[in-house]
Amino acid sequence: MTVGDFERYANIRRANGPSIDQDGSRLAFLLDVTGVRQLYRIDGPRDWPQQLTFTDERVSFAAWSPTRDELIFGMDEGGNEHTQLFRIDGDGHRTTQLTDASGSIHRWGAWSSDGSRFAYTANRRDHSSFDVYVQKRNEFGDDARLVYEGEGMLSVVGWCPDDNRLAICRDRSSFDRELLVLEVESGRCLRVTDHTDGVRYDDIRWGPGGESLYCATDRGSDTKYLARIEVATGAVETVVERGEWNIECFDLEPNSRRVVFGTNVDGYTKLTTGELVDDLTVREFPTPALPSGVYRNPCFANDGSTVALTVSGSVENENIYVLEVATGASHRWTDVATAGIPKESFVEPELIRYESFDGLEVPAFFSVPADATAEQMPVIVDIHGGPESQRRPRFNGIKQYYLQRGYAYFEPNIRGSSGYGRIYSQLDDVERRVDAIEDVKAGVDWLQNQPEVDRRRIVAFGGSYGGFVVLAAMTEYPELWAAGVDLFGIANLITFLENTGEWRREHRESEYGSLEDDAEFLESISPIHDVERIEAPLLVLHGRNDPRVPASEAERIVEKVAEQEVPVEKRIFEDEGHGFTKRENLLEAYSIITAFLDEHVE
């Protein structure tokens, strides 16, 4: 298999982010068939999709009006995450820009129920904080009404059923949120939850009548369960009992009282649909018929009869299904191509667990090429970002490509990963950061005992926080690695926190430690200070417009490693941010990666 063969795997399409129109007959969704994610419309199952946007920049979301044949969508420029809002007719013939504050981020909230207004948050006034705005559908951004001056990372959850109030969420960290309810006309804001809780409130929805909010929360629990919160008092009541696994991807259609939610069972989604027979009781409907994997973005039709969602599995690329809620019958609406690659050639991973240095069991997905022989093979150890992300059995064309090239693929959910409860997720906070690197070492120890793995050809690979882990593992355990690939990763925790987007600094300090209180410790564990220990060749790729991890992190680590006379390569993509959003850049990046691995690992 040649480097050029990667193009076929990169051309495996993804359809996601569904939104159902006002009468429930059409879907809008995002699709990357042009090389950049654009907005499409489909009018029935397996119908031919109609492209609505034709830009060189990615579309980040789309939300259909509840009353009109129009949508609002978001788009940034060059991956800078400065999302602006646009309105587009359902036929795609006319697009109107709604905001034009190019240095600011606009975080979509929701349409009002009559479709005359919409709400969102933006950091126009102060780049470190988000305020709440309400804007009429036919107004320009300069005419938007600032209804609440916020502090920190605010997002609009949605309008209450009578359109007089907005539910707002403030993220203090990934595991600490507070809920507010804002009276739009008076500006009076009620704190619904105690801001000292240190609790997650996710997938928040207004309940019928507007007296309560429903959400997935871990209040008083290690894992998230489904709860009802009384707006007036903040009282929390259990709807679906807490269990071993987190409830996620919850949605509620208040008029029909229909609900849908997923349970994250070792990374796989178990989906439940039903209806509220009273405020605290869900009557479950038949289990939906869907492929095994991960389900995201549930979106109800206005009458609650159907729900659309994104479905992906290890051997199933992302497509959109629509469920008949009462019966569980499913219909696949999109038929996104696999670039002529037969699905039977894709590899399902094995879910394994290995023991780390302190006895902690670390879950991981391990994949071996389908045609593997007795000959030992190289392996890519792929570390996810976050740190609070979770490696799950979603489709990954890049992984399938390297499996076809003869690599095994190892994806550990080291401590700090979400999906296994609050305690597991916080085991890497601040001074315990180095324990996560020990988890990687223990994972390599496990790999070295597998007969199919060549212990001399193990690759450290990761993006964002995963890039930090790659660099830290290469400095702490240089003897383990044949090569390292760092994608937009962190080399120095101090300069990262100093230069990351102002709007996310507080959020990230809660995870890594603060510049004020923990600077000495952060310096001590930053890989940039131990580059003389790196022995394996290193490849670093980054986006010039990255607002999360500045490109200077890549430039500094490459400069330092080069001084050690260790083989090191760098490529900065001038029109990308935090990740690869354009297919032409993805193709170039993985051509570079594959050639690098061919030279140093094969």
Q: Let me know how many helices (H) and strands (E) the chain has, helices first.
A: 10, 36
Per-residue pLDDT averaged across 88-92, rounded?
A: 96
d(CA 486, CA 471): 7
The domain locations on the chain are 349-600
A 10 A CB-CB count for 515 gives 14
pLDDT value at 36 more than 50: yes
303-326 pLDDT per residue, tens: 999 999 999 999 999 999 999 999
pLDDT over 90 percentage in the chain:
87
pLDDT value at 282 more than 70: yes
Instruction: Work out the pLDDT band at 5, boundaries 50, 70, 90.
Output: confident
> At the topology level of CATH, where does 349-600 sit?
Rossmann fold (3.40.50)
Closest CA to 130 of 163, 100, 102, 156: 156
410-469 pLDDT per residue, tens: 999 999 999 999 999 999 988 999 999 999 999 999 999 999 999 999 999 999 999 999
Listed in sequence order, the residues at least 6 apart from 278 whose beta carbon sits closer than 8 Å to its beta carbon are: none
pLDDT value at 196 more than 70: no
Closest CA to 513 of 521, 501, 504, 524: 521
Q: Which of 40-44, 338-342, 454-458 has the lowest mean pLDDT?
A: 338-342
**pLDDT on residue 140:** 85
Label residue 81 left, alpha or beta by phi (over 0 means left) and psi (-120 to 50 means alpha). left
517 or 332, greater pLDDT: 332
pLDDT over 70 percentage in the chain:
98
**pLDDT on residue 526:** 96
Rounded to the nearest integer, the mean pLDDT of the chain is: 94
371-418 pLDDT per residue, tens: 776 579 999 999 999 899 999 999 999 999 999 999 999 999 999 999
pLDDT value at 142 more than 70: yes
181: enclosing H helix or E strand: strand 176-183
**pLDDT on residue 1:** 44
Instruction: Work out the pLDDT band at 543, boundaries 50, 70, 90.
Output: very high
Per-residue pLDDT averaged across 473-500, rounded?
A: 96
**pLDDT on residue 4:** 52
Instruction: Work out the pLDDT band at 197, boundaries 50, 70, 90.
Output: low
**pLDDT on residue 374:** 58
Q: Which of 291-295, 512-516, 527-531 has the lowest mean pLDDT?
A: 512-516
The values of phi and psi at residue 71, to 5°, are: -135, 160
d(CA 556, CA 416): 26
564-586 pLDDT per residue, tens: 989 999 999 999 999 999 999 99
Per-residue pLDDT averaged across 178-195, rounded?
A: 92
**pLDDT on residue 572:** 97
Per-residue pLDDT averaged across 231-258, rounded?
A: 94
**pLDDT on residue 3:** 46
d(CA 167, CA 279): 19
Cα 176-500-84 angle, rounded to 5 deg: 85
- Can you say whether the dihedral through the CA atoms of 525, 530, 533, 535 is positive or negative? positive
